[in-house]
Structure 1
């Protein structure tokens, strides 16, 4: 029994550890996790101080510390130095943002995928490869960095985004694979990485899996500030940062050159590693120089093809500081053994023969067409996104939260994703949703009509299960 009586004491969480068989810290962590999943502890709830909770349960402080650490590594709770420990904003949400099989027809505006209009072009190109005598050699293991001709193709692609490097290119099986490999190679469980307060869900799932904590960096006008970065270095002890400078997912923001230079400067000053996710950079007609061009010794630059050419081209390209290259290459080898030589050769040929560039132009033209439709129906609302971007960020009227609107839209047959899915730590998400815009034109127009009707409704979501 607890030493002190807490019957009338206002604690936000009072676990019951009677009749447990597991080690105490595991049992407490399990109960905390379960209470969050069951909705007994809501996102943003401030948990009791560790010492207070230890007193209540009559256990050692180290037991509570270990339990909180376990839940923190899984992403269920978030510790803010000087403020306390909170239930993570997204603790109860599904962080895997992939198209689902729905019992009823659903128009997909949740998952960000490029249009599939060019897949026939890629298939025709691949059929030509099938008739070549050497085609069967593409079913062997590949090299971790590709051959000179393939590297030349990647460099050609990098020219489109004003990036030049003399470093060899490492290969990954897609952008997410490259992110996981980089995190696993360079960070340890318990390490902290700075991100935007609202960020790509994939970095959150990867960090949770590896026991890495994400820290929201203070922003001004959608960009990290120098003061925010320096504060996080001093007080949150971050070891690195993760950024998406072009068409930030989900907010669509493109980072200014000044902020790119500032991040490079702070990275050098504070010995930070920067993971630069350039997954959408190829879609920009007038791209800015990447952060890697300002601090090549501190930046791991990741580009990939699935969002810009075709989802089936699961291929990513990494440019790393020379001192980190071996460690990242070994980690990618342990994860992948090899990327597909067939995919690599196909991508290299598409680039060398100008087909990839033509595909990018087609994607941009289609995105502009789709975005014109979005503007037609939702232009009166606060909606962000450039005309080449394949998703938009819709700020909602005050009568909706993101979660409420996502549920309403789903009930009406349209899948969108709420800001809560992208929130980091105890960040209070804005009332917003991300809209992917690559659905077939007729479907997109139908979905936009539905969303506009919902926005114009009285905000009654009582009918949602």
Structure 2
């Protein structure tokens, strides 16, 4: 019998069963092994590869544990689903046991503010015990005032009555979409977007549509075409230091996007979580169409990843629906988190922390330019990540697998692409979370070394 899958398995790769799992994973990612494909029996594949049946059995078991395949009794072993959109965010959040993590995109823990000092100061206040009470769904007014103050410092004037406290930007995104959309509605976003959008769309049953982007962000003509041809309910965009491409949308482009959204009655979710890192900030879309925009801000990227204090500046007419949704999702933000944020905002800690993070980012981005400058990269002096377009014949999954084998975790473009099948060959390198500068340099040198070689082709077309 002809073997239905013929991986080229270099015997030099050890252990063999994991090499076989990697070959299987790459063929699934590339589309060579579609969902439902029946794999050879363990005996057939072992005979073809001239390896022990036990090795194939162990490989199939490991692949099933990873969700790559599933067994169906006597019918055999079949290729399962590719990781669904809802798993993309989870894949970025997995604990990394490798030496260098360029996958998770958050600020360096070593530059976090002094939490102990903040807690001691709060504990000395007579009203400290009140922080153990439930907060209103929209958050304590003192915390909403702090959120409005932070927005104002960035260039957005917001009425504190329209500012809501939430558990970070991801919670904000889920809350807004739940308040504004229903199952079957369409949310548009950049063709490469923050994976959390996919997660929310999957949870709420929303359809996701990608809008083409260039070096300035969303392309107005593409956005208008999408609006003309589909009933777009929401537009999610990340105009400042966009994740993953690093673009900053200029003011004129923001005006164009705002005008199109207004023309087609599209509600805009403007995620400005990285805007505090910019020195020169263009005007915000939410300032142009405040009655049609939600402005999202969070402490997790610029202050501390685990603080999880987010803010929404909402249109006045959305107050009640947003309040109801916040009450249904978490009753109210834990007051202690908001109190820590407010203390740090008012005593200047946040300003100092952001300044330190920008200096560290400038060093990391310059280092990336020096080491990877001969390749196609998009950097920004105060950004946390680098967008790397891969030379042929590399694909994102192949490069990520090779980097993982060399001890570096990266995020392939497929994680961010609305249409995974047409994703560019690229990866995001997140430099902000790496514990030490020497690790950043070492990881970038490994990336450069991999780029100078060619992928190992462990699979052949069948």
TM-score by length of 2: 0.78
Cα distance in 2 between the residues matched to 1:162 and 1:118: 25
Structure 2 SS opposite 1:249: coil
The answer to whether the 8 A contact 1:403-1:418 is kept is yes
Correspondence 1:198 to 2:192? yes
Q: Tell me if the contact between 1:214 and 1:425 (Cα under 8 Å) persists in the aligned partners.
A: no
Mapping for residues 126-205 of structure 1, pairs under 5 Å: 126-166=119-159, 167-205=161-199
Q: Which residue of 2 aligns with 1:442?
A: 438
Residues 64-463 of structure 1 mapped to structure 2, 5 A cutoff: 91=84, 94-95=87-88, 96-102=90-96, 105-166=98-159, 167-425=161-419, 428-438=422-432, 439=434, 440-462=436-458
Q: How many angstroms apart in 1 are the aligned matches of 2:259 and 2:343?
A: 37
CA contact (8 A) 2:107 2:305 kept: yes
Aligned residues: 387
Given that residues 161 and 289 in structure 1 are in contact (C-alpha distance below 8 angstroms), is that contact kept between their aligned partners in structure 2? no
Task: Say which SS state the counterpart of residue 209 (structure 2) adopts.
Answer: strand
Q: Distance in 2 between matches of 1:93 and 1:340?
A: 26
Cα offset for 1:323? 1.2
CA contact under 8 A between 2:143 and 2:165: conserved in structure 1?
A: no
- Identify if the C-alpha distance between structure 1 residues 256 and 189 changes in structure 2 by more than 3 Å, giving closer, same or farther: same
Cα 1:123–1:299 shift into 2, 3 Å: same
Return the structure number with greater helix share: 2
- Do the aligned partners of 1:106 and 1:410 also contact (CA within 8 Å) in 2? no
Task: For 1:29-40, list aligned pairs within 5 A.
Answer: 39=28
Q: Is the 8 A contact 1:90 1:422 kept in 2?
A: no
Distance across 2 between alignment mates of 1:186 and 1:254: 27
Counterpart CA distance in 2 for 1:119 and 1:92 is 31
Give me the whole-angstrom Cα distance separating, in 2, the residues matched to 1:44 and 1:387.
Answer: 41
Q: Find the aligned partners of 2:254 and 2:240 in 1 and give their Cα distance.
A: 11
Contact 1:90 1:424 in 2 (8 A): no
SS in 2 for 1:239: strand
Report if the CA contact (8 A) 2:28-2:82 is conserved. no
Q: 1:92 to 1:176 in 2, by over 3 A?
A: closer
Distance in structure 2 (CA, Å) of the matches to 1:309 and 1:176: 16
Decide whether the 8 Å contact of 1:162 with 1:289 is kept in 2: yes
**Structure 2, gaps ≥5 residues long:** 1-24, 36-80
- Whole-angstrom distance in 2 between the partners of 1:248 and 1:142: 33
Between the aligned partners of 1:249 and 1:316, the Cα distance in structure 2 is: 18
SS of the aligned residue for 1:230 comes to helix
What is the alpha-carbon root mean square deviation over aligned residues?
A: 2.7
How far, CA to CA, are the matches of 1:139 and 1:100 in structure 2?
Answer: 31
Query: Which of residues 42, 56, 60 is equivalent to 2:31?
Result: 42
Q: CA 1:417 to 1:141, structure 2 compared with 1: closer, same or farther past 3 Å?
A: same
Q: Distance in 2 between matches of 1:427 and 1:299?
A: 31
Cα–Cα, structure 1 residues 223 and 90, in superposed 2: closer, same or farther, change >3 Å? farther
> What is the distance in 1 between the residues matched to 2:102 and 2:28?
27
Cα distance, 1:356 vs structure 2 = 0.8
Q: Relative to structure 1, is the Cα distance of residues 40 and 250 closer, same or farther in structure 2, using a 3 angstrom cutoff?
A: closer
- 1:218 Cα shift? 3.1
Separation in structure 1 between the aligned mates of residue 391 and residue 141 of structure 2, nearest angstrom: 53
Distance 1:41 1:429 in 2: 11
Are the equivalent residues in 2 in contact too, given 1:246–1:255 (CA < 8 A)? yes
Query: Quick one: structure 1 residues 230 and 44, their matched pair in 2 at CA, closer, same or farther if it must change by over 3 Å?
Result: farther
- 1:37/1:92 contact within 8 Å kept: no
> Does the residue aligned with 1:424 lie in a helix, a strand or coil?
coil
5+ residue gaps, structure 1, are 1-35, 47-87
SS, match of residue 160 in structure 1: helix
Distance across 2 between alignment mates of 1:105 and 1:38: 23
CA distance in 1, matches of 2:34, 2:28: 11
Q: Once the two structures are superposed, what CA deviation does each residue of 1:270-306 show, in whole Å capped at 9, x if it has no partner?
A: 1110011111111111111110000001001111101
In structure 1, the residue matched to 2:20 is none
